[in-house]
Structure 1
Protein backbone atom coordinates (compact mmCIF):
# COMPACT_ATOMS: atom_id res chain seq x y z
CA UNK A 1 0.00 0.00 0.00
CA UNK A 2 2.94 2.35 0.66
CA UNK A 3 5.59 0.94 -1.66
CA UNK A 4 7.92 3.64 -3.03
CA UNK A 5 6.66 6.04 -0.35
CA UNK A 6 9.12 7.92 1.83
CA UNK A 7 7.78 9.10 5.18
CA UNK A 8 9.23 11.27 7.91
CA UNK A 9 7.71 10.37 11.29
CA UNK A 10 8.46 12.64 14.24
CA UNK A 11 8.18 11.42 17.80
CA UNK A 12 9.06 7.96 16.52
CA UNK A 13 10.83 6.80 19.66
CA UNK A 14 7.81 5.22 21.34
CA UNK A 15 4.04 4.85 21.51
CA UNK A 16 1.97 5.96 18.54
CA UNK A 17 5.02 7.24 16.66
CA UNK A 18 6.81 3.91 16.81
CA UNK A 19 3.61 2.10 15.83
CA UNK A 20 3.10 4.40 12.83
CA UNK A 21 6.69 3.96 11.67
CA UNK A 22 6.51 0.18 12.00
CA UNK A 23 3.15 0.00 10.25
CA UNK A 24 4.51 2.07 7.37
CA UNK A 25 7.44 -0.32 7.15
CA UNK A 26 5.06 -3.25 6.98
CA UNK A 27 3.41 -1.64 3.97
CA UNK A 28 6.76 -1.25 2.20
CA UNK A 29 7.59 2.39 2.95
CA UNK A 30 10.94 4.04 3.52
CA UNK A 31 10.77 5.65 6.98
CA UNK A 32 12.90 8.31 8.60
CA UNK A 33 12.46 7.96 12.36
CA UNK A 34 12.95 11.28 14.15
CA UNK A 35 12.98 12.02 17.88
CA UNK A 36 15.30 13.35 20.58
CA UNK A 37 16.18 9.91 21.94
CA UNK A 38 18.88 8.42 19.71
CA UNK A 39 18.83 4.94 21.22
CA UNK A 40 15.04 4.67 21.05
CA UNK A 41 14.78 5.74 17.41
CA UNK A 42 17.50 3.26 16.52
CA UNK A 43 15.21 0.60 17.99
CA UNK A 44 12.28 1.94 15.97
CA UNK A 45 14.33 1.92 12.78
CA UNK A 46 15.27 -1.70 13.43
CA UNK A 47 11.59 -2.55 13.93
CA UNK A 48 10.72 -0.87 10.62
CA UNK A 49 13.37 -2.94 8.86
CA UNK A 50 12.09 -6.10 10.51
CA UNK A 51 8.59 -5.24 9.29
CA UNK A 52 9.82 -5.05 5.68
CA UNK A 53 10.62 -1.38 5.11
CA UNK A 54 13.78 0.66 4.87
CA UNK A 55 14.62 3.01 7.71
CA UNK A 56 17.09 5.51 9.09
CA UNK A 57 17.10 7.23 12.46
CA UNK A 58 17.88 10.92 12.84
CA UNK A 59 18.11 12.52 16.27
CA UNK A 60 15.84 15.57 16.07
CA UNK A 61 14.36 18.23 18.34
CA UNK A 62 11.32 19.51 16.45
CA UNK A 63 11.44 22.84 18.29
CA UNK A 64 14.92 23.57 16.86
CA UNK A 65 14.65 24.81 13.29
CA UNK A 66 18.17 23.76 12.39
CA UNK A 67 17.36 20.20 13.49
CA UNK A 68 14.16 20.17 11.44
CA UNK A 69 15.91 21.47 8.34
CA UNK A 70 18.61 18.83 8.81
CA UNK A 71 16.22 15.87 9.16
CA UNK A 72 14.30 16.91 6.05
CA UNK A 73 17.58 17.24 4.14
CA UNK A 74 18.70 13.84 5.43
CA UNK A 75 15.43 12.30 4.28
CA UNK A 76 15.82 13.63 0.75
CA UNK A 77 19.50 12.70 0.61
CA UNK A 78 18.83 9.14 1.78
CA UNK A 79 15.72 8.32 -0.23
CA UNK A 80 15.58 10.88 -3.02
CA UNK A 81 12.48 12.74 -1.87
CA UNK A 82 9.76 13.07 0.72
CA UNK A 83 6.16 11.93 0.22
CA UNK A 84 4.63 11.94 3.67
CA UNK A 85 5.18 13.99 6.82
CA UNK A 86 3.68 12.60 10.03
CA UNK A 87 3.73 15.24 12.76
CA UNK A 88 3.47 13.02 15.80
CA UNK A 89 5.99 14.51 18.26
CA UNK A 90 4.20 15.99 21.25
CA UNK A 91 4.06 16.32 25.02
CA UNK A 92 1.17 16.09 27.45
CA UNK A 93 1.83 19.42 29.15
CA UNK A 94 0.84 20.40 32.68
CA UNK A 95 -2.10 18.74 34.42
CA UNK A 96 -3.43 21.61 36.52
CA UNK A 97 -6.40 23.97 36.66
CA UNK A 98 -5.77 27.20 34.79
CA UNK A 99 -4.84 29.28 37.83
CA UNK A 100 -2.03 26.85 38.71
CA UNK A 101 -0.48 26.45 35.26
CA UNK A 102 3.05 27.77 35.02
CA UNK A 103 3.36 30.11 32.03
CA UNK A 104 6.64 28.54 30.93
CA UNK A 105 5.02 25.07 30.97
CA UNK A 106 2.20 26.43 28.82
CA UNK A 107 4.69 27.93 26.36
CA UNK A 108 6.71 24.71 26.24
CA UNK A 109 3.60 22.73 25.33
CA UNK A 110 2.90 25.07 22.42
CA UNK A 111 6.54 24.94 21.31
CA UNK A 112 6.52 21.17 20.96
CA UNK A 113 2.92 20.56 19.90
CA UNK A 114 2.39 23.55 17.58
CA UNK A 115 5.70 25.17 16.62
CA UNK A 116 7.21 21.73 15.96
CA UNK A 117 4.61 20.73 13.33
CA UNK A 118 4.82 24.21 11.81
CA UNK A 119 8.60 23.96 11.38
CA UNK A 120 8.33 20.48 9.91
CA UNK A 121 5.69 21.60 7.41
CA UNK A 122 7.71 24.71 6.55
CA UNK A 123 10.80 22.72 5.60
CA UNK A 124 9.02 19.74 4.05
CA UNK A 125 6.50 21.54 1.85
CA UNK A 126 8.66 22.03 -1.25
CA UNK A 127 9.45 18.31 -1.33
CA UNK A 128 5.85 17.32 -0.67
CA UNK A 129 4.75 19.49 -3.60
CA UNK A 130 7.22 17.65 -5.84
CA UNK A 131 5.84 14.26 -4.82
CA UNK A 132 3.09 12.64 -6.89
CA UNK A 133 1.36 11.67 -3.64
CA UNK A 134 2.32 14.23 -1.00
CA UNK A 135 0.60 14.13 2.37
CA UNK A 136 0.81 15.62 5.85
CA UNK A 137 -0.82 13.82 8.75
CA UNK A 138 -0.91 15.67 12.05
CA UNK A 139 -1.57 13.68 15.20
CA UNK A 140 -4.06 15.66 17.24
CA UNK A 141 -6.34 14.60 20.07
CA UNK A 142 -9.97 14.55 21.05
CA UNK A 143 -8.77 17.10 23.61
CA UNK A 144 -8.67 19.64 20.79
CA UNK A 145 -12.38 19.23 20.05
CA UNK A 146 -14.03 18.77 23.45
CA UNK A 147 -13.52 19.99 27.02
CA UNK A 148 -10.37 18.64 28.67
CA UNK A 149 -10.45 19.85 32.29
CA UNK A 150 -7.04 20.51 33.83
CA UNK A 151 -5.40 20.05 30.39
CA UNK A 152 -5.73 23.60 29.05
CA UNK A 153 -2.24 23.84 27.55
CA UNK A 154 -2.59 20.50 25.76
CA UNK A 155 -6.13 21.18 24.51
CA UNK A 156 -5.10 24.59 23.17
CA UNK A 157 -2.16 23.08 21.30
CA UNK A 158 -4.25 20.34 19.71
CA UNK A 159 -6.97 22.78 18.64
CA UNK A 160 -4.25 24.85 16.99
CA UNK A 161 -3.41 21.82 14.84
CA UNK A 162 -6.95 21.90 13.46
CA UNK A 163 -6.47 25.42 12.10
CA UNK A 164 -3.02 24.54 10.81
CA UNK A 165 -4.38 21.47 9.03
CA UNK A 166 -7.21 23.28 7.27
CA UNK A 167 -4.99 26.15 6.14
CA UNK A 168 -2.17 23.92 4.92
CA UNK A 169 -4.67 21.79 3.02
CA UNK A 170 -5.64 24.82 0.95
CA UNK A 171 -2.10 26.15 0.56
CA UNK A 172 -0.73 22.82 -0.67
CA UNK A 173 -3.77 21.28 -2.28
CA UNK A 174 -3.23 22.65 -5.80
CA UNK A 175 -0.09 20.56 -5.95
CA UNK A 176 -1.99 17.45 -4.90
CA UNK A 177 -0.81 17.44 -1.29
CA UNK A 178 -3.39 16.28 1.24
CA UNK A 179 -3.33 17.47 4.86
CA UNK A 180 -5.34 15.88 7.65
CA UNK A 181 -5.40 15.50 11.41
CA UNK A 182 -6.04 12.19 13.14
CA UNK A 183 -7.63 12.52 16.58
CA UNK A 184 -6.81 9.53 18.79
CA UNK A 185 -8.84 8.72 21.85
CA UNK A 186 -7.17 7.29 24.96
CA UNK A 187 -4.41 4.85 24.01
CA UNK A 188 -3.57 1.95 26.28
CA UNK A 189 -0.13 2.41 27.80
CA UNK A 190 1.95 4.33 30.34
CA UNK A 191 1.12 7.82 29.07
CA UNK A 192 -2.61 7.59 29.69
CA UNK A 193 -1.96 5.88 33.02
CA UNK A 194 0.25 8.80 34.04
CA UNK A 195 -2.39 11.36 33.03
CA UNK A 196 -5.14 9.50 34.89
CA UNK A 197 -2.98 9.31 38.00
CA UNK A 198 -2.39 13.07 37.89
CA UNK A 199 -6.10 13.78 37.45
CA UNK A 200 -6.89 11.46 40.35
CA UNK A 201 -4.40 13.32 42.53
CA UNK A 202 -6.05 16.64 41.71
CA UNK A 203 -9.45 15.18 42.55
CA UNK A 204 -8.23 13.73 45.83
CA UNK A 205 -8.86 10.17 44.68
CA UNK A 206 -6.41 7.59 45.98
CA UNK A 207 -6.47 5.42 42.87
CA UNK A 208 -7.91 5.60 39.39
CA UNK A 209 -7.71 3.37 36.35
CA UNK A 210 -7.78 4.45 32.67
CA UNK A 211 -11.16 2.74 32.34
CA UNK A 212 -12.51 5.25 34.89
CA UNK A 213 -11.70 8.35 32.85
CA UNK A 214 -15.26 8.89 31.66
CA UNK A 215 -17.06 5.97 29.99
CA UNK A 216 -20.21 8.07 29.57
CA UNK A 217 -18.27 10.40 27.25
CA UNK A 218 -17.73 7.74 24.57
CA UNK A 219 -20.17 6.09 22.20
CA UNK A 220 -18.56 2.66 22.59
CA UNK A 221 -18.39 0.84 25.88
CA UNK A 222 -14.84 -0.28 25.09
CA UNK A 223 -13.18 3.07 24.49
CA UNK A 224 -9.51 2.34 25.24
CA UNK A 225 -7.59 2.05 21.98
CA UNK A 226 -4.54 0.22 20.74
CA UNK A 227 -1.93 2.38 18.98
CA UNK A 228 -2.15 0.12 15.92
CA UNK A 229 -5.67 1.40 15.22
CA UNK A 230 -4.35 4.93 14.89
CA UNK A 231 -1.38 3.80 12.79
CA UNK A 232 -3.64 2.04 10.29
CA UNK A 233 -5.70 5.21 9.81
CA UNK A 234 -2.54 7.23 9.25
CA UNK A 235 -1.28 4.70 6.70
CA UNK A 236 -4.59 4.88 4.83
CA UNK A 237 -4.40 8.67 4.60
CA UNK A 238 -0.82 8.44 3.32
CA UNK A 239 -1.76 5.93 0.64
CA UNK A 240 -3.28 6.33 -2.79
CA UNK A 241 -6.61 5.25 -1.29
CA UNK A 242 -6.75 8.48 0.70
CA UNK A 243 -5.93 10.80 -2.18
CA UNK A 244 -9.24 12.71 -2.00
CA UNK A 245 -9.38 13.07 1.79
CA UNK A 246 -8.02 16.42 2.91
CA UNK A 247 -8.66 19.28 5.36
CA UNK A 248 -10.31 16.82 7.74
CA UNK A 249 -10.08 15.89 11.41
CA UNK A 250 -10.67 12.15 11.67
CA UNK A 251 -11.41 10.66 15.07
CA UNK A 252 -10.11 7.24 15.99
CA UNK A 253 -11.71 7.60 19.34
CA UNK A 254 -14.62 5.25 20.09
CA UNK A 255 -17.00 8.13 19.45
CA UNK A 256 -15.31 10.55 21.84
CA UNK A 257 -15.06 13.54 19.48
CA UNK A 258 -17.89 15.96 20.03
CA UNK A 259 -18.13 17.57 16.58
Structure 2
Protein backbone atom coordinates (compact mmCIF):
# COMPACT_ATOMS: atom_id res chain seq x y z
CA UNK A 1 0.00 0.00 0.00
CA UNK A 2 2.92 2.38 0.71
CA UNK A 3 5.73 0.66 -1.15
CA UNK A 4 8.73 3.02 -1.49
CA UNK A 5 6.80 6.05 -0.17
CA UNK A 6 9.16 8.39 1.68
CA UNK A 7 7.57 9.60 4.91
CA UNK A 8 8.56 12.06 7.64
CA UNK A 9 6.85 11.39 11.00
CA UNK A 10 7.18 13.84 13.88
CA UNK A 11 6.81 12.75 17.48
CA UNK A 12 7.90 9.25 16.48
CA UNK A 13 9.59 8.35 19.76
CA UNK A 14 6.54 7.03 21.62
CA UNK A 15 2.78 6.52 21.69
CA UNK A 16 0.74 7.18 18.57
CA UNK A 17 3.76 8.51 16.67
CA UNK A 18 5.76 5.35 17.18
CA UNK A 19 2.79 3.22 16.16
CA UNK A 20 2.25 5.31 13.03
CA UNK A 21 5.90 5.04 12.00
CA UNK A 22 5.97 1.26 12.48
CA UNK A 23 2.69 0.83 10.59
CA UNK A 24 3.86 2.93 7.64
CA UNK A 25 7.06 0.89 7.45
CA UNK A 26 5.09 -2.36 7.63
CA UNK A 27 3.18 -1.19 4.55
CA UNK A 28 6.43 -0.54 2.68
CA UNK A 29 7.30 3.10 3.41
CA UNK A 30 10.75 4.49 4.14
CA UNK A 31 10.25 6.44 7.37
CA UNK A 32 12.19 9.34 8.87
CA UNK A 33 11.59 9.35 12.62
CA UNK A 34 11.71 12.87 14.02
CA UNK A 35 11.62 13.65 17.74
CA UNK A 36 13.62 15.36 20.46
CA UNK A 37 14.13 12.22 22.54
CA UNK A 38 16.30 9.15 22.06
CA UNK A 39 13.13 7.10 21.76
CA UNK A 40 13.40 7.51 17.98
CA UNK A 41 16.30 5.06 18.06
CA UNK A 42 14.14 2.48 19.83
CA UNK A 43 11.47 2.99 17.18
CA UNK A 44 14.12 2.64 14.47
CA UNK A 45 15.26 -0.66 15.97
CA UNK A 46 11.72 -2.00 15.59
CA UNK A 47 11.55 -0.89 11.96
CA UNK A 48 15.14 -1.77 10.97
CA UNK A 49 16.35 -0.85 7.47
CA UNK A 50 13.49 1.43 6.40
CA UNK A 51 14.00 3.85 9.31
CA UNK A 52 15.99 7.06 9.56
CA UNK A 53 16.10 8.30 13.18
CA UNK A 54 16.52 12.09 13.50
CA UNK A 55 16.80 14.41 16.48
CA UNK A 56 14.38 17.21 15.60
CA UNK A 57 12.73 19.90 17.71
CA UNK A 58 9.64 20.95 15.74
CA UNK A 59 9.58 24.35 17.47
CA UNK A 60 13.09 25.16 16.16
CA UNK A 61 13.04 26.17 12.49
CA UNK A 62 16.68 25.34 11.83
CA UNK A 63 16.20 21.88 13.36
CA UNK A 64 13.17 21.27 11.16
CA UNK A 65 15.01 22.38 8.01
CA UNK A 66 17.95 20.13 8.83
CA UNK A 67 15.70 17.13 9.50
CA UNK A 68 13.80 17.47 6.25
CA UNK A 69 17.00 17.98 4.24
CA UNK A 70 18.52 14.85 5.81
CA UNK A 71 15.38 12.92 4.89
CA UNK A 72 15.41 14.07 1.27
CA UNK A 73 19.13 13.33 0.97
CA UNK A 74 18.71 9.85 2.44
CA UNK A 75 15.55 8.81 0.59
CA UNK A 76 15.79 10.86 -2.57
CA UNK A 77 12.58 12.78 -1.93
CA UNK A 78 9.65 13.31 0.40
CA UNK A 79 6.13 12.10 -0.35
CA UNK A 80 4.32 12.07 2.96
CA UNK A 81 4.39 14.31 6.04
CA UNK A 82 2.80 13.05 9.26
CA UNK A 83 2.52 15.89 11.76
CA UNK A 84 2.08 14.04 15.03
CA UNK A 85 4.34 15.85 17.54
CA UNK A 86 2.30 17.34 20.35
CA UNK A 87 2.07 17.87 24.08
CA UNK A 88 -0.85 17.68 26.46
CA UNK A 89 -0.27 21.08 28.07
CA UNK A 90 -1.53 21.98 31.54
CA UNK A 91 -4.69 20.78 33.27
CA UNK A 92 -5.99 23.86 35.07
CA UNK A 93 -8.74 26.49 34.84
CA UNK A 94 -7.84 29.34 32.51
CA UNK A 95 -6.97 31.78 35.32
CA UNK A 96 -4.30 29.36 36.58
CA UNK A 97 -2.71 28.68 33.17
CA UNK A 98 0.54 30.61 32.78
CA UNK A 99 1.43 32.47 29.61
CA UNK A 100 4.48 30.23 29.34
CA UNK A 101 2.31 27.09 29.43
CA UNK A 102 -0.02 28.54 26.79
CA UNK A 103 2.88 29.54 24.53
CA UNK A 104 4.62 26.17 24.90
CA UNK A 105 1.47 24.24 24.01
CA UNK A 106 0.88 26.37 20.93
CA UNK A 107 4.54 26.21 19.94
CA UNK A 108 4.62 22.42 19.83
CA UNK A 109 1.07 21.66 18.70
CA UNK A 110 0.59 24.40 16.09
CA UNK A 111 3.83 26.21 15.29
CA UNK A 112 5.57 22.86 14.88
CA UNK A 113 3.09 21.80 12.19
CA UNK A 114 3.47 25.15 10.46
CA UNK A 115 7.25 24.79 10.32
CA UNK A 116 7.37 21.19 9.13
CA UNK A 117 4.74 21.80 6.46
CA UNK A 118 6.37 25.05 5.32
CA UNK A 119 9.71 23.38 4.74
CA UNK A 120 8.30 20.14 3.32
CA UNK A 121 5.94 21.95 0.94
CA UNK A 122 8.09 22.08 -2.20
CA UNK A 123 9.08 18.43 -1.84
CA UNK A 124 5.46 17.39 -1.41
CA UNK A 125 4.39 19.43 -4.43
CA UNK A 126 7.10 17.77 -6.52
CA UNK A 127 5.98 14.29 -5.47
CA UNK A 128 3.44 12.40 -7.55
CA UNK A 129 1.82 11.13 -4.34
CA UNK A 130 2.06 14.01 -1.89
CA UNK A 131 0.23 13.55 1.40
CA UNK A 132 -0.03 15.47 4.66
CA UNK A 133 -1.76 13.96 7.69
CA UNK A 134 -2.06 16.13 10.80
CA UNK A 135 -2.89 14.60 14.16
CA UNK A 136 -5.53 16.74 15.85
CA UNK A 137 -7.94 15.48 18.51
CA UNK A 138 -11.64 15.25 19.21
CA UNK A 139 -10.79 17.78 21.92
CA UNK A 140 -10.51 20.27 19.08
CA UNK A 141 -14.22 19.69 18.43
CA UNK A 142 -15.74 19.44 21.90
CA UNK A 143 -15.00 20.83 25.38
CA UNK A 144 -12.45 19.21 27.66
CA UNK A 145 -12.61 20.66 31.15
CA UNK A 146 -9.61 22.70 32.28
CA UNK A 147 -7.65 22.01 29.06
CA UNK A 148 -7.97 25.35 27.24
CA UNK A 149 -4.48 25.50 25.66
CA UNK A 150 -4.73 21.95 24.35
CA UNK A 151 -8.25 22.21 22.95
CA UNK A 152 -7.51 25.57 21.31
CA UNK A 153 -4.36 24.17 19.70
CA UNK A 154 -6.17 21.13 18.33
CA UNK A 155 -8.96 23.26 16.82
CA UNK A 156 -6.20 25.32 15.20
CA UNK A 157 -4.86 22.13 13.62
CA UNK A 158 -8.23 21.52 11.96
CA UNK A 159 -8.26 25.05 10.53
CA UNK A 160 -4.67 24.63 9.33
CA UNK A 161 -5.59 21.34 7.67
CA UNK A 162 -8.53 22.73 5.73
CA UNK A 163 -6.61 25.75 4.48
CA UNK A 164 -3.57 23.72 3.46
CA UNK A 165 -5.81 21.34 1.53
CA UNK A 166 -6.90 24.26 -0.64
CA UNK A 167 -3.36 25.60 -1.01
CA UNK A 168 -1.94 22.20 -2.05
CA UNK A 169 -4.90 21.01 -4.10
CA UNK A 170 -3.66 22.17 -7.51
CA UNK A 171 -0.58 20.01 -7.03
CA UNK A 172 -2.65 16.92 -6.13
CA UNK A 173 -1.34 16.93 -2.56
CA UNK A 174 -4.00 15.86 -0.07
CA UNK A 175 -4.15 17.24 3.47
CA UNK A 176 -6.26 15.63 6.17
CA UNK A 177 -6.49 15.55 9.95
CA UNK A 178 -7.05 12.54 12.16
CA UNK A 179 -8.82 13.26 15.45
CA UNK A 180 -8.15 10.53 18.01
CA UNK A 181 -10.20 10.15 21.11
CA UNK A 182 -8.50 9.32 24.40
CA UNK A 183 -5.81 6.89 23.24
CA UNK A 184 -4.06 4.34 25.43
CA UNK A 185 -0.53 5.33 26.40
CA UNK A 186 1.54 7.35 28.88
CA UNK A 187 0.19 10.74 27.77
CA UNK A 188 -3.47 9.95 28.45
CA UNK A 189 -2.55 8.28 31.73
CA UNK A 190 -0.93 11.53 32.88
CA UNK A 191 -3.96 13.53 31.75
CA UNK A 192 -6.36 11.20 33.58
CA UNK A 193 -4.22 11.47 36.71
CA UNK A 194 -4.40 15.26 36.50
CA UNK A 195 -8.16 15.21 35.97
CA UNK A 196 -8.59 12.84 38.91
CA UNK A 197 -6.60 15.17 41.16
CA UNK A 198 -8.56 18.19 39.95
CA UNK A 199 -11.92 16.50 40.50
CA UNK A 200 -10.90 14.80 43.76
CA UNK A 201 -11.79 11.31 42.48
CA UNK A 202 -9.98 8.03 41.76
CA UNK A 203 -8.16 7.35 38.46
CA UNK A 204 -10.66 4.80 37.11
CA UNK A 205 -13.59 7.05 37.96
CA UNK A 206 -11.94 9.99 36.19
CA UNK A 207 -11.25 7.83 33.13
CA UNK A 208 -14.90 6.84 32.90
CA UNK A 209 -16.35 10.23 33.79
CA UNK A 210 -14.14 12.36 31.52
CA UNK A 211 -13.20 10.03 28.66
CA UNK A 212 -15.23 6.85 28.20
CA UNK A 213 -18.75 7.15 29.61
CA UNK A 214 -19.91 9.38 26.75
CA UNK A 215 -18.43 7.23 23.96
CA UNK A 216 -20.47 4.68 22.03
CA UNK A 217 -17.96 1.89 22.72
CA UNK A 218 -17.10 2.97 26.27
CA UNK A 219 -13.38 2.38 25.91
CA UNK A 220 -10.08 4.10 25.18
CA UNK A 221 -8.70 4.00 21.62
CA UNK A 222 -5.90 1.64 20.62
CA UNK A 223 -2.88 3.42 19.04
CA UNK A 224 -2.91 0.99 16.12
CA UNK A 225 -6.46 2.05 15.21
CA UNK A 226 -5.18 5.59 14.70
CA UNK A 227 -2.11 4.37 12.80
CA UNK A 228 -4.19 2.35 10.34
CA UNK A 229 -6.32 5.37 9.44
CA UNK A 230 -3.18 7.47 8.96
CA UNK A 231 -1.69 4.79 6.70
CA UNK A 232 -4.84 4.74 4.57
CA UNK A 233 -4.84 8.53 4.19
CA UNK A 234 -1.16 8.39 3.24
CA UNK A 235 -1.82 5.86 0.50
CA UNK A 236 -3.00 6.09 -3.08
CA UNK A 237 -6.34 4.65 -1.99
CA UNK A 238 -7.23 8.02 -0.47
CA UNK A 239 -6.27 10.16 -3.45
CA UNK A 240 -9.57 12.09 -3.51
CA UNK A 241 -9.96 12.47 0.26
CA UNK A 242 -8.74 15.88 1.39
CA UNK A 243 -9.66 18.72 3.80
CA UNK A 244 -11.26 16.19 6.15
CA UNK A 245 -10.99 15.71 9.91
CA UNK A 246 -11.64 12.06 10.66
CA UNK A 247 -12.51 10.87 14.15
CA UNK A 248 -11.00 7.69 15.60
CA UNK A 249 -12.65 7.86 18.98
CA UNK A 250 -15.00 4.97 19.71
CA UNK A 251 -18.01 7.16 18.92
CA UNK A 252 -17.44 10.20 21.11
CA UNK A 253 -17.53 13.17 18.72
CA UNK A 254 -20.23 12.89 16.04
CA UNK A 255 -19.14 15.58 13.60
Asked if TM exceeds 0.5, the reply is yes
Do the aligned residues in 1 keep the contact of 2:36 with 2:57 (CA within 8 Å)?
Answer: yes
**Does residue 56 of structure 1 match 2:55?**
no
- Does the C-alpha gap of structure 1 residues 130 and 217 become closer, same or farther in structure 2, counting only changes over 3 Å? same
Map 1:51-200 to 2 at 5 A.
54-200=50-196
- Does the C-alpha gap of structure 1 residues 112 and 234 become closer, same or farther in structure 2, counting only changes over 3 Å? same
Gaps of 5+ in 2: none
Distance 1:9 1:116 in 2: 12
- 1:47 deviates by 1.1
Do the aligned residues in 2 keep the contact of 1:145 with 1:258 (CA within 8 Å)?
Answer: no
- 1:258 deviates by 3.9
1:85 is paired with a residue whose SS is strand
- 1:187 deviates by 1.0
Distance 2:235 2:192 in 1: 35
Do the aligned residues in 1 keep the contact of 2:40 with 2:54 (CA within 8 Å)?
Answer: yes
Task: After superposition, give the CA deviation of every residue in 1:195-224 in whole Å (9 maximum; x if it has no partner).
Answer: 111011111224435344343421223x31
State which of 215, 218, 222 in structure 1 corresponds to 2:215.
Answer: 218
Query: 1:34 — aligned with what?
Result: 34
- 1:48 deviates by 1.6
2:204 is paired with a residue whose SS is coil
Gaps of 5+ in 1: none
Do the aligned residues in 2 keep the contact of 1:146 with 1:258 (CA within 8 Å)?
Answer: no
Q: Deviation above 3 Å: which 4+ runs of structure 1?
A: 206-209
- 1:140 deviates by 0.5
Worse-matched range after superposition: 183-192 or 54-63 = 183-192
TM-score normalised by length of structure 1: 0.95
**Does residue 247 of structure 1 match 2:243?**
yes
CA-based RMSD of the aligned residues comes to 1.2
Query: 1:23 — aligned with what?
Result: 23
1:213 is paired with a residue whose SS is helix
1:56 is paired with a residue whose SS is strand
1:244 is paired with a residue whose SS is coil
Map 1:8-19 to 2 at 5 A.
8-19=8-19
- 1:190 deviates by 2.0
1:31 is paired with a residue whose SS is strand
Distance 2:81 2:211 in 1: 33
TM-score normalised by length of structure 2: 0.97
